[in-house]
Amino acid sequence: MKYEKLCKQIIELVGGKENIEAVVHCMTRLRFTLKDQELANANKDALKAIPEVIDVVSNKVSFQIIIGTEVNQIHPELLTLLGMKESEEPKVKKNIFKAILDVMSESISPIIPAMMAVGLMAGVLAIFVAAGVLKDTSPTYIIFNSIKDGLFYFLPIFMAVSASKRLGAPMYLGILLAGTLLTTSLNGVEGLSLFGLPLQTITYSNTFIPILLGLWFMGRVNKVLVKIIPKSLEYFFSPLLLIAITLPVTLFLFGPIGTWISDGLTIGVEFLTGTFGTWIVLALYAACQPLLIMMGAGNFIVPLVLAAFASQGYEEIFIPAFIISDLAVSGAMLGYFIRSKNKEQKQFFGSVAFSAFMGITEPAVFGAFVKYRRPFIAVMIGGGLGGLFAGLMHVKAYAMTNLFGLVSFIGNKDHNNFYFMIIALVIGFVVSLAAGYLLWLPKNEIEAETVIDQVESKSTLNTVPIATPVSGEVKSLAEVKDDAFSSGALGTGVGIVPTDNLIKSPIKGKVASLFPTNHAIGVVSEEGVEVLIHIGIDTVDLKGQYFEALVEQGAEVDLGSPLIEVDFEQVKAAGYDPTVIMIITNTQDYLEVLPNLDEDNSLNNDLITVIM
């Protein structure tokens, strides 16, 4: 047993045999299901200190030890020591609270462009009124201002469109349910009864929780009806029964529950602000948002934000805080960009700084913050101070928007609110930039830059070109939404958003490994370069569905040989990120591995250059 010592160390540090319920593996990591995960969490540092271990990831689903491509050799030995047999990954009970937040977030995301349009329109109208171009009593103003009423009044219909598929309800029946709730016969009407039983007076406009609950119930009922209604009668009776069953349950049960939840969220926000002060909560969220994103906990604010808009017409904590935090992340990365002397790192820090400025901070968080750690401190300082100022000045967001919708902060002719928000953003950005510049990288990273500069100065080097495995949009590895890959811990490489279903060999060589679910394949070139192609994020959970291997392990392949055919449309429909990741797993064996992100990569035979 080649890895016996390593396996024994891992078993001991995760809490011993008796603490392990199951262990499976994907292409690069061991995934443990543990009885008491805290026992393993207490030993995370010791696990990371093991030379063969790249990183340790602990979450609600599993405890993961990232090792690299040798994991397929380590796993059988680990099972032998545990006395277990090879098995599929067990189904893990999902965190209900997280699942609810995920549904809300995924349902609201498609509506965000409409919400941002409303916010920008509100800002433009405010500017026109302030400039004397329009009066707030003019028909033109009233017509354009009604866009906001159109969105929030009919919010249940928007939610029905975006959430029906996610919840398993037929979309048009979901829209019918939402439209029915908004009719003048039901919406906010007092003294109604159904089957002789009194109904609570509920206002269904400007809220989303009752319709989400109704759609969830409709999805459950739909599954039952599909099983019991004969196919020949399904077309005629299933829609009728679905709406006839769901509407009364929504009126009697989900309407009141939704109202209670909305009121509870409002009370919760009022408790936070009343107990700790709006300014403290805003400052803390602006300082800590990157940490929440890293932990996958950024979605919890969605119901709180919508509840605030529904009850107050504005939101004064989370929207100002996340805009300030995003700009602080951009500032910290710009500080790193200014301080860095290495061309490749300058390109990386510059790209993630711009991405954060545009409101997309994941590349910076997973590509730089996780790796260097110190940017977290820079954002906590800058974002915290910016958030503190915004909180003390009682800045309010009158629409769900981002940096480019700042004019919406004028809202209700409140120009000071807009000016205070601008000042808060400047504080967050400038302080984070200065902190990022001063904190910079640890000494070993600076030394690593010097080595890279020396390598780049050499003129006579042997190189191995690695071609594009699939047509598509190429992006830096830092932008890939899997921190094990994006941090570069498993090797240097690139991500590709595919536009073709055929994965081809990027080199001439041999298929060294083919994962049983066909979602990942390793090819070794004639020069010994180890290329790992990982198809999609977390697609191991699909257990081979939509993936068809066109080669076998051990097969000799030429440049461009078909390897795997993937139905990416089905992968995306199943809710998975289809990004194809290609990395050089033995990066450390070479002077440098350079991704090429500058050309048309659909025909680029030099997507990655390995300097021997």
Choosing from 11, 24, 26, 329, the catalytic residue is: 26
- Which amino acid is located at 338 in the chain? I
The CATH number for 593's domain is 2.70.70.10
Regarding whether 471 and 373 lie in a shared domain, the answer is: no
Contacts of 137 (CB under 8 A, 6+ apart): none
Buried b (16+ CB within 10 A) or exposed e, 175-202: bbbbebbbeeebbeeeeeeeeeeebeeb
Q: In this structure, what token pair is assigned to residue 134? A: 């329009």
Residue 373 domain boundaries: 278-285+313-447
- Longest CA–CA separation in the chain, Å: 90
Q: What is the mean pLDDT of residues 367-396?
A: 86
Query: Which is higher by pLDDT, 490 or 238?
Result: 238
Regarding whether 118 and 86 lie in a shared domain, the answer is: no
193 within a domain of the structure (yes/no): yes
Regarding whether 248 and 396 lie in a shared domain, the answer is: no
Q: What is the pTM of this model?
A: 0.48
308 within a domain of the structure (yes/no): no
581 within a domain of the structure (yes/no): yes
Q: In this structure, what token pair is assigned to residue 577? A: 């990120």
Q: What is the mean pLDDT of residues 342-353?
A: 79
Regarding whether 475 and 403 lie in a shared domain, the answer is: no
Regarding whether 86 and 32 lie in a shared domain, the answer is: yes
Regarding whether 259 and 111 lie in a shared domain, the answer is: yes
pLDDT band at 449 (very low <50, low <70, confident <90, very high): very low
Contacts of 455 (CB under 8 A, 6+ apart): 591, 592, 611
Torsion 443-445-446-447 (CA) sign: positive
pLDDT confidence of residue 572: 92
Regarding whether 402 and 526 lie in a shared domain, the answer is: no
CA–CA separation, 97 and 283 (whole Å): 25
pLDDT confidence of residue 59: 67
CA–CA separation, 188 and 183 (whole Å): 9
Q: What is the mean pLDDT of residues 171-186?
A: 93
CA–CA separation, 225 and 314 (whole Å): 42
417 within a domain of the structure (yes/no): yes
Cα–Cα–Cα angle for 251, 255, 256, rounded to 5 degrees: 115
Rounded to the nearest integer, the mean pLDDT of the chain is: 82
Query: Which is higher by pLDDT, 517 or 413?
Result: 517
- Which amino acid is located at 72 in the chain? N
294 within a domain of the structure (yes/no): no
- Which amino acid is located at 396 in the chain? K
605 within a domain of the structure (yes/no): yes
SS3 category, 229? coil
Distance of CA 157 to the CA centre of its chain: 25
The CATH number for 18's domain is 3.30.1360.60
pLDDT confidence of residue 332: 92
**Distances 425 to 217, 243, 329, 402, 479 between C-alpha atoms, Å:** 43, 48, 11, 12, 24
pLDDT confidence of residue 422: 94
Q: Is 26 a catalytic residue?
A: yes
Q: In this structure, what token pair is assigned to residue 407? A: 């004019």
pLDDT confidence of residue 448: 44
Lowest model confidence (mean pLDDT) among 93-97, 137-141, 209-213, 544-548: 93-97
DSSP string, 518-574: SSEEEEEETT--EEEEEESSSGGGGTTTTEEESS-TT-EE-TT-EEEEE-HHHHHHT
Regarding whether 222 and 129 lie in a shared domain, the answer is: yes
Q: What is the mean pLDDT of residues 443-449?
A: 45
Evaluate if residue 336 carries a pLDDT over 70: yes
Nearest residue to 612 (alpha-carbon basis) of 462, 506, 491, 508: 462
The string of pLDDT tens digits covering residues 249-273 is 999 999 899 878 777 766 776 777 6
Evaluate if residue 441 carries a pLDDT over 70: no
pLDDT confidence of residue 240: 92
Half-sphere exposure of 267 (CA within 13 A, CB side): 6
Regarding whether 246 and 188 lie in a shared domain, the answer is: yes
pLDDT band at 605 (very low <50, low <70, confident <90, very high): low
What is the percent of the chain where pLDDT is above 70?
85
> How many domains does one find in the chain?
4
pLDDT confidence of residue 461: 53
Regarding whether 605 and 528 lie in a shared domain, the answer is: yes
Asked whether the beta carbons of 243 and 173 are under 8 A apart, the reply is yes
pLDDT confidence of residue 609: 85
pLDDT confidence of residue 446: 45
pLDDT band at 85 (very low <50, low <70, confident <90, very high): low
Lowest model confidence (mean pLDDT) among 149-158, 369-378, 594-603: 594-603
- Axis-axis angle for helices 318-339, 343-357 (nearest 10): 160
Regarding whether 264 and 397 lie in a shared domain, the answer is: no
The string of pLDDT tens digits covering residues 299-332 is 567 777 777 776 677 888 888 998 999 999 999 9
Regarding whether 473 and 426 lie in a shared domain, the answer is: no
The string of pLDDT tens digits covering residues 145-169 is 888 778 878 888 998 998 887 788 9
Nearest residue to 221 (alpha-carbon basis) of 259, 202, 248: 248
Evaluate if residue 450 carries a pLDDT over 50: no
pLDDT confidence of residue 400: 73
595 within a domain of the structure (yes/no): yes
Lowest model confidence (mean pLDDT) among 37-46, 80-89, 342-351, 555-564: 80-89
302 within a domain of the structure (yes/no): no
Lowest model confidence (mean pLDDT) among 100-114, 191-205, 275-289: 100-114
Q: In this structure, what token pair is assigned to residue 608? A: 């990655």
pLDDT confidence of residue 451: 42
Q: What is the mean pLDDT of residues 402-418?
A: 78
